[in-house]
Amino acid sequence: MAAAGEEVLMKVALKIWRYDSATGDRALKEYEIQAPEWATLLDCLDIVKDKHDGSLAYRKSCRMMICGSCGMRMDGAAVLACKTRMYEIAQSGHVPVVSAMGNLPIRKDLVVDMDPFWAKFNAMKPWLQPGYERPEDGREYRISQERMNVIHKEALCINCGCCVSECNAMESDPEFLGPQALAKGMRFVGDPRDGATIERLEQYNSEHGIWDCTRCFFCNERCPKGVDPRDAIAKLGAESVAQGIDRDMGAKHAKWFVKSAETTGWLRETELVPKTQGVVEALKQTKFALNLAKHGKVPPPFPPHVARDVNEARNLRKLVREQDRQGALGHVQGEHALAKLDHGHAGESLEEIYDRPGAAPRPWLPEIKEEPSA
Amino acid sequence: MSTTETPLKRVAYYKGCLASLSAKELDTSTQALAPQVGLELVELESVTCCGAGDIHEAEPDYYLHLNARILAYAEATGCDMLMTVCNVCTLNLRQANYMLQGDSGLLARINENLETVGVPPYSGGVEVRHLLWEIAEGEGYEKLKKVAHRGLKGLKVAPFYGCQILRPSKILGFEDPDRPWSLERIIEACGGEAIDYPAKIKCCGFPIIQAREETALGELIQPVEQALEAGADVMVTPCPLCHLSLDAWQQKLEAATGRAFNLPILHLAQLVGVAAGLDESELKFKRHIVDPRPALERLEV
C-alpha cells in the first residue's frame, strides 16, 4: 500500500517504430518502463527518452490537448499522445505499437514532415478577410450566438493532423486538400464577418477540393477535438450548392439525387452517369455500361421506378426551400442533438441531465431559444 | 424451412435504391433468408431514397425531411425496428434518427412539415439496424448457426466492412470500428474461414467513383489486392454500394493494371444464403459481373 502522496507505478510495455530518414534505417523496438498510473502515452514516451533511449524523436509542447504537436499512431490509429491514458492498456497486458502519423513523410521516429500539411492549410487563406458593414452608430459589430454556432465545431481545430493521417482519399490523391484544411476553410466560409465567401467556395471547389472527399469518415472518428471534418466538408458542399457553385461533377452527382428524390422518390440510377459526367464523357463509358447491362446492372429508365405517394416527397422539398435553411444551416440544426451522443445522453434534454439525482450543478449556459413555429 | 419454435420478429424493411434496382439479387436473397433467421420483413411502400449522403451534402434540410418520412412510415407499421441492408442507408437513417430523437424542437418542426404534406408524424420510436447486426448476435445469430447447415466447407472468405457501417462510431456504435468482428463471426458460423487483411475497414471509393474515378480506383485496389494475396476465394460485404464498386468496377481495375483479379464479391445475405442452401433463383449470381459460381462449385457435394 502506497503512503499518502506516494505515486503508484505500473509497468508499461511499448513497441515503437524507429526510423531515420537520413539512413533509411527502420526498426520496431520494444521498451518496458515504470510509469505512474495516471500516465498518458506522452508521459510514457518522456520516460523512454529520459531513462531508456535519449535518441527517440517525437514532438510535444503543451501536454494538455491544445497545441496539437503530439499527433501519432497507436496500433495504427491516429491519437494525441497527451490525451491517451495508458492504464487500461497496461492492465490488459497488450503491448501497443506506436508509429508516426500517415499521409505525411516521416523525418525521424515519430516526427513527420508537416510542410505539406501547412501548405494546404495556407492555401485556404486561413485568416479573416473582413467584409461586414460597420454599424452606423460607431459601435462594435455584434454577431448572434446562433450565427456563430455554424462554425462552433470547426473553430475547435488545433491543427494536429490526426484526421489527415487517416484520410483514405488523400492516400489515393496526395494533392487532396484534405479534412483539416477544408474544415479550416469552413471556419471562414461560415463566419459572418468574412467577405470572401464566394472566392473561397470557388477555390475549395477545385479539382482536389471538397468533391474529392470519399466519405470514409476516418477524420470524424480520429479527431481528438470533436471538429468532425467530414461534416465541415458537407457544410461546404451545401454552401456551394446553395450559392450555385455546382459545376464540379461531385456537385452534379449530389444534385441528381435531389432531382431523383423529388421526381420518382428513388435514385434514377441509369441517368446518374450522364447527369454527373455529361453526355460526351458518359458515351465513352459505353463498353463498360454494356457489360453492366448484360448482368441487369443498368435498370431501364422507362418506365421509371416510382415510389408510392412521391408527391409527398416533392411537396416536402418545396416546403423546405420556402423555409430557407439552405446551406450549412441544414447541417447545423442537427449538431445539438448529435453532440449528445458524445456524452452518452442521446435521449435527454439539458434540463433532464441536470435534474438527474447527484448531477453536477448546472453551469451557466446560453438560453437555447425554441424555434418559433411557422 | 421457417423456424417454428419462436414467432418471427416483425421488422420494417427498408431495401433502399440499389436493392430495388441494379442489385435486385440483394433483395431476393434477403427476402428468402429473413424467415430462416427469425425475421418477418414488413415492406415499406411509400418511402424514398435516403439521399445516400449526396442529399445530405447538397440539401441537408431536405435530407432530414426525407429520412424523417422514412422513419415515420416505418413507425406506422407498428414495428419498433427498421432493418436496412446497406451501409449508406444505415448511416443516413441512424443519423437523422438521432437528430430527431435528441432535439424536441427540431422534431416538432419536421413533424409539422410532414403533416402538411400528408405524412404521419414521427414520435422517435424506431431503431435503425442493419441485417448484419441482427444475425451477428443474439437470437438471430443462434438461428443463423442452425440454418447454415449446408456450410461453407472451409471456403476462404474476405470480410469487407465498408466505411459507413463502422464510422462514425458514435452513430453506428455496434462494434469497435478498428477491430470489428461481426462479419468474421458470421463467416465462421457458416463454416467458412475468415481471411484477415488491413483494408477490410477502409473505403472502396464508391462515393466518388463517378466524379473522381482515378482517386476511387486507387482506394478500390487495396481490398481487392490484399484479399487475394491473403488467399481469399470470395469476398463478402454488407453494403450494395461497396458491392457495386468491388464487383463492377473491378474490370476497370483490371484494365488499368493489366492484371486479372477475378475476385467474386458476395452480398452478406448471399453468403449466408449459400450456407443455408438457397437456390440460384433467390441468390441470382448471374447478376454479378464476376461470377461467384466457379468459386462456390467446390461446395457442391
| Chain B residue with Cα closest to A282 | B210
- Residue A231 belongs to a domain: yes
- Residue B44 belongs to a domain: yes
Q: Which residue has the higher pLDDT, B192 or A344?
A: B192
Candidates B210, B225, B245: best to mutate against A (most CBs of A within 10 A) is: B210
Q: Does A362 touch chain B (CB under 8 A)?
A: no
Looking at the structure, tell me whether residues A162 and A246 fall in a common domain: yes
Nearest CB neighbour to A305, from listed B21, B104, B109:
B21
- Residue B139 belongs to a domain: no
Candidates B28, B99, B212: best to mutate against A (most CBs of A within 10 A) is: B212
Looking at the structure, tell me whether residues B168 and B286 fall in a common domain: yes
Compute the nearest-CA separation of A34 from chain B (Å): 28
Judged by CB atoms closer than 8 Å, whether chains meet at A216 and B167 is answered as yes
- Look at residue B2 in the predicted model and tell me its pLDDT: 47
Judged by CB atoms closer than 8 Å, whether chains meet at B64 and A330 is answered as yes
- Residue B141 belongs to a domain: no
Domain count for chain A: 2
Residues 6+ apart with CB under 8 A from B14: B44, B47, B50, B70, B74, B82, B83, B84, B89, B93
Between strands A71-74 and A77-80, the pairing is antiparallel
Cβ atoms within 10 A of the Cβ of B90, count? 29
AA letter at B88: V
A75 — alpha (psi -120 to 50), left (phi > 0) or beta?
left
- Residue B234 belongs to a domain: yes
- Look at residue A350 in the predicted model and tell me its pLDDT: 66
Task: Point out the domain boundary residue: A52, A80, A112.
Answer: A112
Phi, psi of A338 (to 5 degrees): -65, -30
- Residue A312 belongs to a domain: yes
- Residue A77 belongs to a domain: yes
Nearest CB neighbour to A212, from listed B24, B54, B208:
B208
User: Which A residues in the span 162-191 are in contact with B, Cβ-Cβ below 8 Å?
Assistant: 168-169, 171-173, 176
For residue A99, the cross-strand partners are A73
- What is d(CA B67, CA B75) in angstroms, rounded to the nearest whole number? 12
Q: Which residues of A touch B174 (CB under 8 A)?
A: none
Q: How far is CA A162 from CA A106, A187, B66, in A?
A: 14, 18, 33
Judged by CB atoms closer than 8 Å, whether chains meet at A254 and B57 is answered as yes
Task: Point out the domain boundary residue: B86, B101, B130.
Answer: B130
Looking at the structure, tell me whether residues A157 and A81 fall in a common domain: no
Q: Tens of pLDDT along A174-227?
A: 999 999 999 999 999 999 999 999 999 999 999 999 999 999 999 999 999 999
- Residue A277 belongs to a domain: no
A vs B, Cβ pairs < 8 A, gives 268
Residue whose entry in the numeric block shows the C-alpha cell 510542410: A115
pLDDT at A373 over 60: no
- Residue B140 belongs to a domain: no
Looking at the structure, tell me whether residues A315 and A329 fall in a common domain: yes
Handedness of CA A323, A324, A330, A333 (dihedral sign): negative
Q: Which residues of B touch A249 (CB under 8 A)?
A: 210-212
| Chain A residue with Cα closest to B91 | A217
pLDDT at B301 over 60: no
Q: Which residues of A touch B216 (CB under 8 A)?
A: 172, 214
Compute the nearest-CA separation of A248 from chain B (Å): 8
- Bond preceding residue B168 cis, omega within 30 of 0: yes
Q: Which residues of A touch B98 (CB under 8 A)?
A: 334, 337-338, 341, 346
Q: Tens of pLDDT along A87-104?
A: 999 999 999 999 999 999
Judged by CB atoms closer than 8 Å, whether chains meet at A337 and B17 is answered as no
Pick from A170, A188, A205: nearest CA to A125: A188
For residue B109 the three cell numbers come to 418542426
Looking at the structure, tell me whether residues A122 and A247 fall in a common domain: yes
- Look at residue A150 in the predicted model and tell me its pLDDT: 94
- Look at residue A363 in the predicted model and tell me its pLDDT: 67
pLDDT at B55 over 90: yes
User: Which A residues in the span 96-155 are in contact with B, Cβ-Cβ below 8 Å?
Assistant: none
Range(s) of the domain holding residue A179: 114-268+304-341
Cβ atoms within 10 A of the Cβ of A189, count? 27
Task: Point out the domain boundary residue: B130, B165, B189.
Answer: B130
Judged by CB atoms closer than 8 Å, whether chains meet at A173 and B54 is answered as no
For residue A367 the three cell numbers come to 438560453
Q: How confident is the model at residue A298 (pLDDT cuts 50, 70, 90)?
A: confident
- Residue A369 belongs to a domain: no
Q: Which residues of A touch B114 (CB under 8 A)?
A: 316
Judged by CB atoms closer than 8 Å, whether chains meet at B113 and A249 is answered as no
- Look at residue A374 in the predicted model and tell me its pLDDT: 43
Domain count for chain B: 2
- Look at residue A349 in the predicted model and tell me its pLDDT: 66
Tell me what percent of the residues of chain A surpass a pLDDT of 90: 72
Nearest CB neighbour to A341, from listed B117, B170, B202:
B170
CATH number of the domain bearing residue A67: 3.10.20.30
Q: For helices A229-242 and A249-263, what crossing angle results, to 10°?
A: 80
Q: Tens of pLDDT along B183-238?
A: 999 999 999 999 999 999 999 999 999 999 999 999 999 999 999 999 999 999 99
Q: Which residues of B touch A253 (CB under 8 A)?
A: 54, 210-211
pTM of the model: 0.94
Looking at the structure, tell me whether residues A89 and A159 fall in a common domain: no
Range(s) of the domain holding residue B158: 148-299
CATH number of the domain bearing residue B25: 1.20.1050.140
Nearest CB neighbour to A374, from listed B66, B112, B164:
B112
- What is d(CA A350, CA A360) in angstroms, rounded to the nearest whole number? 12
Average pLDDT (B115-127) is: 97
| Chain A residue with Cα closest to B105 | A370
- Residue B295 belongs to a domain: yes
Looking at the structure, tell me whether residues A123 and A233 fall in a common domain: yes
- Look at residue A247 in the predicted model and tell me its pLDDT: 94
- Look at residue A348 in the predicted model and tell me its pLDDT: 66
Q: Which residues of A touch B119 (CB under 8 A)?
A: 312, 316
Looking at the structure, tell me whether residues B117 and B169 fall in a common domain: no
Pick from B81, B95, B55: nearest CA to A337: B95
Q: Which residues of A touch B171 (CB under 8 A)?
A: 338, 341
Looking at the structure, tell me whether residues B253 and B171 fall in a common domain: yes
Residues 6+ apart with CB under 8 A from A345: A353
pLDDT at A80 over 80: yes
For residue A318 the three cell numbers come to 418545396
- Look at residue B4 in the predicted model and tell me its pLDDT: 52
Compute the nearest-CA separation of A287 from chain B (Å): 11
- Residue A290 belongs to a domain: no
Query: What average pLDDT does chain A have?
Result: 91
Q: Does A333 touch chain B (CB under 8 A)?
A: yes
Q: Are A328 and A186 in contact (CB under 8 A)?
A: yes
